[in-house]
Amino acid sequence: MRGNNMKNLTGKIMLAIPLTLGVCSIPATYADSNVAKVQQNVSDTAITTQVKAKIAADKILNPLDVSVATHNGNVALKGTVNSDTEYEQAVSLAQSVDGVKDVDVDDLKVKDSESPLTDLAITAKVNGKLIQDNLFSSKELAYMGFDVETKNQVVYLKGKVKSEAIKNNIEQIAKSISGVKSVDSALNVSQ
């Protein structure tokens, strides 16, 4: 009889150990996911603050009422600007902030715009991404004079750059922007 009690007790202990370990691991997993959410929220808040600060410091955009929200590194701009230049500047500034993955401009409007907003947004995003890359990348990015223009979602790059590596980097950045159909590069390497 005593042997059966020992077997039952041993069986219960063996069953209890995995259950206890499983229950103990739930809070750790839950805590890890909460920490990740908090870190993302802090990052999103920092991005929003930086974009708002850049807009407030910009002489062109300062008096405008453009709201900024960030979720998972994606910045949404909302409001109305007076010109294509203001639109492009707002998008470019937002895209230039470190950690910004993309800029949503669906709710950013331009009074009396003659250009398709898609093309303006693409040009602004390319310029902003180039600024971001120049400020926060360890790559050599000694850009010289070149222009970015977009027509019908095709990005046209024209001008001079310092090296083949820089030329390739600029082309890759342009291709990485959402909405770009293709990139037509007329960048020349000159030393």
- Asked whether 139 and 120 are in contact (CB, 8 A), the reply is no
Residue type at 55 in one-letter notation: I
154-161 and 143-151 beta bridge pairing:
antiparallel
Burial of 110 (0-12, 13-18, 19+ CB in 10 A): buried
Q: Which residue has the higher pLDDT, 48 or 9?
A: 48
Query: Is residue 64 very low, low, confident or very high in pLDDT (cuts 50, 70, 90)?
Result: confident
Query: Is residue 18 very low, low, confident or very high in pLDDT (cuts 50, 70, 90)?
Result: low
* Chain segment 143-168, per-residue pLDDT in tens: 557 889 888 889 999 988 888 888 89
Q: What is the mean pLDDT of the chain?
A: 79
SS3 label, residue 69: strand
Helix (H) or strand (E) holding 102: strand 102-110
Strand order in the sheet with 74-81: 66-71, 74-81, 102-110
Closest C-alpha to 87, from 60, 69, 63: 60
Tokens 């230049």 -> residue: 85
**Phi and psi of 97, rounded to 5°?**
-75, 135
- Counting every residue written for the chain, the total comes to 191
Give the integer Cα–Cα distance in Å for 75 and 183: 24
Query: What is the fold of 138-191?
Result: Histidine-containing Protein; Chain: A; (3.30.1340)
Q: Which residue has the higher pLDDT, 142 or 173?
A: 173
Question: Looking at residue 105, what is its pLDDT?
Answer: 87
Q: Which residue has the higher pLDDT, 28 or 80?
A: 80
Query: Is residue 48 very low, low, confident or very high in pLDDT (cuts 50, 70, 90)?
Result: very high
Residue 63 has pLDDT above 90, yes or no: no
Residue 23 has pLDDT above 90, yes or no: no
* DSSP structural state of residue 141: -
**Entry pTM:** 0.58
For 120, residues 6+ apart whose C-beta sits below 8 A from its C-beta are: 84, 87, 88, 91, 110, 113, 150
* Chain segment 76-127, per-residue pLDDT in tens: 999 988 888 888 899 889 988 989 998 998 888 888 766 667 888 898 889 8
Domain boundaries, the chain: 138-191
